[in-house]
A and B are shown apart, each in its own frame.
Chain A
């Protein structure tokens, strides 16, 4: 009996059971395209959906397709919004999604959102619409206040996870913690490290007391050592801890109880926070260092020199380390000798207006690559780098999947040779066959893009700034990188020729961002005409020009989505910001005045 035809005789339940072994959303998307029967079975049994661009599909349609949804992940604004390149009120609204889910997906348990605008009303709705709601994860979101958090705390009877990472949250007082009902004992993970204001310490202690399953707790800067010590005493089984302010006097009771409490934490694997940490409080941490797999010191500029070295020498099982460049090349050398299991390293700049002596350079990176061959993920801000160092690093660590290097001064050449960094970054793509994410900097010509196009076959996301010479650079990338999903470019001399070099490519990608490049309105219009399945959005800051035109009676009075005033015949104007993405949802209905969909 042929296997092919046998499949048609399987009852639906069996096919559904087979599908349950497909966990990755790519695979489930693929089987849903085989035939109508499979589409139906798949959509009704789908539990998790990931939408990488919230405008790629209309919320109603997504929610209606998957009524059995338990978990939804959404991403809103383009990545460069993190660096103030996207004007406020651009979009990425969570409201329409939560409302659509409320109508169609009553079983929702988890919602994860990144770079979206969430309001307090949205969070209220979340609390009321989903009786089984368990986990809310918000990363780099904004638009809500502690009142919204109170609503979630109050209404979600079996809340397990409230994870707030790097959000902009309006502080309306510490009362929100009181909103967790007394009968709420289900918390497993609570992270409010990004909250700027005070918290009610007694409420926090009581909440922790009645949460026996708490595994992850990340406090904000307002929580003092006294409270931290009490909390840790209550939950010695914590696996992930973010301290509050770690400022304490050696002779104080708080310090002594912190030391005792930490010694009991046998399961602690990840530490972060360390705000205002005094060298003595670092000593308190030593007993847990030997088992740590994750350590985040990137908010602790005082941890440097010998203090850092003494601490890091104990962290022999460390896999993930985030630090500031104030630890210096010397500190990184010690990391290289102590942390043999290191997989991910992030070195952030401590002085952004760097006029002082260089703190990390190529030396530190080479040391790390020599000592930590398991390294696969890097984010490195430095003042100085060389091609020869990059070549060495790429040979020492061929397993890189994420490689992001930010040389602080734009267009800076290799100081040893005065050459561009084409060969250095070229070596990375040649030697690291699994590279999925790449960010490059320093002086770069079209040559580096030739290398990327030729060798970076697994590349999914590429970030380029102040690089390249001609359209050929961008064209190499579009033609060569078969798996490219996101391309973001700023301040490069790529024009309409590059933009239009391979228009069908954009249908295979999630999105393209270009700002301060050399593209014109004509080029963007051409793209929009050729590719109706894409939204070609221009972000206009031509207000001054618009004003002038209105005054001269040249343009028509505008309504919200009518951009006729921009259409005054001058297509040669340069486009400052362009965002192109594939979508089945058509032009978005919530675009603000300054966004023009061609």
Chain B
């Protein structure tokens, strides 16, 4: 019995000296997982304000006219719409990182080309055939996983089937024509 309790006591003592990723004295799950402070954005602000997970919406605050609020809501709804072919990834061979582009706000291939040029800051990404003298070609991966040249099918069909875009260089591109 003595032994048992001292064993138990020893365990607690041992636990206190155990190496952990947390300040000494805290031994909750939360602490050991490393998340010991709440993100600043949710900090309790006033003496009487309850901490809530989402922001409490107060009527008429912040003091912004309904017209402005509605135009932001409309915009937010547009971007969270999950119907097929919205945000697609765009990669360019040789570029260190990819971009995202929202196909739904574009109206045609010319606009797509324009936006892509702006994103990747290179000279003309090609004429009607989809590639230019420098050999850049805009290609996309369709729903079947095939790599296709941009520009062959009607715009709407393209938007609904495009999964991601890829700007190819040089000899690889020529293989598609």
Q: Is the CB of A83 within 8 A of B60?
A: yes
Q: Mark A383-415, 1 if CB is under 8 A from B, else 0.
A: 000000000000000000000001011111100
Please report which residues of chain B, range 15-53, place their CB below 8 angstroms from some CB of chain A when the two chains form the complex.
41, 45-46, 49
Please report which residues of chain B, range 63-104, place their CB below 8 angstroms from some CB of chain A when the two chains form the complex.
63-69, 71-72, 75
Interface membership of B143, Cβ < 8 A:
no
B66 nearest CB neighbor, chain A only: A84
A549 smallest CB distance to B (angstroms): 26
Q: Give Cα A419 to B74, complex, Å.
A: 38
Given the complex, which residues of B lie within 8 Å of A353, measured CB to CB? 55, 57
Q: Is the CB of B118 within 8 A of A279?
A: yes
A413 smallest CB distance to B (angstroms): 7
Given the complex, which residues of A lie within 8 Å of B62, measured CB to CB? 349, 352, 381, 406, 408
A and B contact pairs by CB, cutoff 8 A, 27 listed: A83-B64, A166-B65, A168-B67, A247-B105, A249-B110, A249-B111, A249-B114, A250-B114, A251-B110, A251-B114, A278-B114, A278-B115, A280-B114, A280-B118, A299-B68, A301-B75, A348-B64, A349-B62, A351-B72, A352-B72, A354-B41, A381-B64, A406-B63, A409-B45, A443-B45, A443-B46, A490-B60
With A84-B66, A279-B118, A353-B55: A410-B72 Cβ-Cβ less than 8 Å: no
Interface membership of A182, Cβ < 8 A:
no
Q: Which residues of B contact A (CB under 8 A)?
A: 41, 45-46, 49, 55, 57-69, 71-72, 75, 105, 107-108, 110-111, 113-115, 118
With A250-B114, A301-B75: A355-B55 Cβ-Cβ less than 8 Å: yes
Q: Is the CB of B63 within 8 A of A83?
A: yes
Given the complex, which residues of B lie within 8 Å of A301, measured CB to CB? 72, 75
B56 smallest CB distance to A (angstroms): 9
Q: Which residues of A contact B (CB under 8 A)?
A: 80, 82-85, 140, 166, 168, 194, 247, 249-252, 276, 278-280, 298-299, 301, 348-355, 381, 406, 408-413, 439, 443, 463, 465-466, 490-491
* Interface Cβ pair total, 8 Å cutoff: 86
Q: Give Cα A301 to B78, complex, Å.
A: 13
A255 nearest CB neighbor, chain B only: B114
Q: Is the CB of B64 within 8 A of A349?
A: yes
Q: Is the CB of A194 within 8 A of B67?
A: yes
With A249-B107, A249-B110, A250-B114: A166-B49 Cβ-Cβ less than 8 Å: no
B75 nearest CB neighbor, chain A only: A301
With A194-B67, A251-B110, A251-B114: A413-B45 Cβ-Cβ less than 8 Å: yes
B65 nearest CB neighbor, chain A only: A82
Given the complex, which residues of A lie within 8 Å of B68, measured CB to CB? 298-299, 348
With A83-B65, A355-B41, A406-B63 given, can you name 12 additional A-B contacts, CB distance below 8 Å? A247-B107, A250-B110, A276-B105, A278-B115, A301-B72, A349-B64, A352-B69, A353-B55, A410-B45, A412-B46, A413-B45, A443-B45
Given the complex, which residues of B lie within 8 Å of A279, measured CB to CB? 118
Q: Give Cα A84 to B75, complex, Å.
A: 21
B114 nearest CB neighbor, chain A only: A250
B134 smallest CB distance to A (angstroms): 18
Q: Is the CB of B114 within 8 A of A84?
A: no
Given the complex, which residues of A lie within 8 Å of B69, measured CB to CB? 352
With A351-B72, A353-B55: A84-B60 Cβ-Cβ less than 8 Å: yes
Q: Give Cα A466 to B56, complex, Å.
A: 14
B45 nearest CB neighbor, chain A only: A412
Q: Is the CB of B46 within 8 A of A411?
A: yes
Given the complex, which residues of B lie within 8 Å of A439, measured CB to CB? 63
B60 touches which of A85, A247, A280, A354 (Cβ 8 Å)? A85
Q: Give Cα A423 to B41, complex, Å.
A: 24
Q: Give Cα A83 to B113, complex, Å.
A: 43
Given the complex, which residues of B lie within 8 Å of A491, measured CB to CB? 58
Q: Is the CB of B63 within 8 A of A82?
A: yes
A598 smallest CB distance to B (angstroms): 24
Q: Give Cα A463 to B63, complex, Å.
A: 11
Q: Give Cα A301 to B105, complex, Å.
A: 14
A84 nearest CB neighbor, chain B only: B60
B47 nearest CB neighbor, chain A only: A411
Q: Is the CB of A411 within 8 A of B45?
A: yes
Given the complex, which residues of B lie within 8 Å of A85, measured CB to CB? 59-60
Given the complex, which residues of A lie within 8 Å of B118, measured CB to CB? 279-280
Q: Is the CB of B67 within 8 A of A166?
A: yes
Given the complex, which residues of A lie within 8 Å of B72, measured CB to CB? 301, 350-352
A351 nearest CB neighbor, chain B only: B72
Q: Give Cα A140 to B107, complex, Å.
A: 34
Q: Give Cα A82 to B41, complex, Å.
A: 27
Q: Give Cα A556 to B161, complex, Å.
A: 68
B108 smallest CB distance to A (angstroms): 7
A377 smallest CB distance to B (angstroms): 16
Q: Give Cα A349 to B76, complex, Å.
A: 14
Q: Give Cα A466 to B47, complex, Å.
A: 13
B9 smallest CB distance to A (angstroms): 42
Given the complex, which residues of A lie within 8 Å of B71, measured CB to CB? 299
Q: Give Cα A308 to B97, complex, Å.
A: 23
A252 nearest CB neighbor, chain B only: B110
Given the complex, which residues of B lie within 8 Å of A466, measured CB to CB? 61
Interface centre among B62, B69, B72, B111 (most CB of A within 10 A): B62
B141 smallest CB distance to A (angstroms): 24
B109 nearest CB neighbor, chain A only: A249
Q: Is the CB of B61 within 8 A of A410?
A: yes
Given the complex, which residues of B lie within 8 Å of A465, measured CB to CB? 61, 63
Q: Give the top 10 A-B pairs by smallest Cβ distance, nearest first.
A: A83-B60, A411-B46, A249-B111, A250-B114, A249-B110, A412-B45, A251-B110, A85-B60, A83-B63, A84-B60
A275 nearest CB neighbor, chain B only: B71
Q: Give Cα A426 to B119, complex, Å.
A: 47
A515 nearest CB neighbor, chain B only: B60
Q: Give Cα A321 to B151, complex, Å.
A: 41
Given the complex, which residues of B lie within 8 Å of A280, measured CB to CB? 114, 118
Q: Give Cα A381 to B69, complex, Å.
A: 14
B174 smallest CB distance to A (angstroms): 24
Q: Give Cα A349 to B64, complex, Å.
A: 8
Given the complex, which residues of A lie within 8 Å of B110, measured CB to CB? 249-252
Q: Give Cα A463 to B61, complex, Å.
A: 13
A348 smallest CB distance to B (angstroms): 6
Given the complex, which residues of B lie within 8 Å of A251, measured CB to CB? 110, 113-114
Q: Give Cα A166 to B110, complex, Å.
A: 35
A218 smallest CB distance to B (angstroms): 14
Given the complex, which residues of A lie within 8 Å of B66, measured CB to CB? 82, 84
Given the complex, which residues of B lie within 8 Å of A412, measured CB to CB? 45-46
Given the complex, which residues of B lie within 8 Å of A140, measured CB to CB? 65
A410 touches which of B58, B67, B111, B115 (Cβ 8 Å)? B58
B56 nearest CB neighbor, chain A only: A410
Given the complex, which residues of A lie within 8 Å of B55, measured CB to CB? 353-355
Given the complex, which residues of B lie within 8 Å of A250, measured CB to CB? 110, 114
Q: Is the CB of A249 within 8 A of B108?
A: yes
Given the complex, which residues of B lie within 8 Å of A247, measured CB to CB? 105, 107
Given the complex, which residues of B lie within 8 Å of A411, measured CB to CB? 45-46, 49
